[in-house]
Structure 1
Amino acid sequence: MMTDFTPLMSFLGGTLIGVATVALMAVLGRIAGINGIASGFLTTQFNQDWAWRAAFLAGMVASPLIMLGVTGQLPEITVPSSPLMLVIGGFLTGIGTTYGSGCTSGHGVCGISRLSARSIVATVTFMATAGVTVYLTRHVFGG
């Protein structure tokens, strides 16, 4: 499966992620780890802490609509896996983020920029596991 090379959109998306990460740390002193933001959103009472989490998540959900308004089309999403594989992958990701004390956004974007050894190890583990998984599913199991 080939993917399109989109340097401009990738650059803009990465820039927005970086700006949001820095803004959240500068304004609220919080890490932009999606796993922690979503978890806190689901478990926190309606207060100021819940409000920023809701706003952050709403921005993530609204971003494809913003893309539609800017470019005239929604981002194309192709999922080359079966629904069962998506459920299994989501379950394994949930286990991994629980035992790894965070997700790729928390460790990879925020932790590495703070030179956290734990985050560097976690991100290397994420990336190595992703590489092995892609190789196995595309070349060994034929998916």
Structure 2
Amino acid sequence: MVARFFEIKDHLAAKMDLREFFPAPVEIYAKDSLRTALDIMQGFTLAFQRDDLTLSEARVLMDALCEKFPSMSHHLGPRAAIVKHPDFETAVIKVIDGAVGELTEVERSALSGFEIATVIARQRSEASAGLAMYILRS
């Protein structure tokens, strides 16, 4: 309906009996700007619905959306109120991207609950002693 309006707006403006209902040129421009912005956001919405979207890709899309529409950064930025643990989110994205070396101390701390202790393999002789050695060490 909105797209159709923009297709025929020039013809509608020429009709005398519609002039009292017809929006002013500045209003038409504002509606067209809004329509353009909504089209862009619709593209982002569809991208966010992809099944194969990773957390890292979602963050890139959010950052691009905030760059395109700065007023949204308050709601969608990495430090927005909706993000309950921003350091954790940033750390997870860095790990997914393979940038573990770039983690800050705060980010490492946020991920500490997910660390897996490295187990040193026993030598062959200890492994064969098995249960007997375990009992003696206890």
Interval of TM-score (by shorter of Structure 1 and Structure 2) = under 0.3
Please give the TM-score of this superposition, normalised by the length of structure 2.
Answer: 0.23
Please give the TM-score of this superposition, normalised by the length of structure 1.
Answer: 0.23
Larger radius of gyration: 2
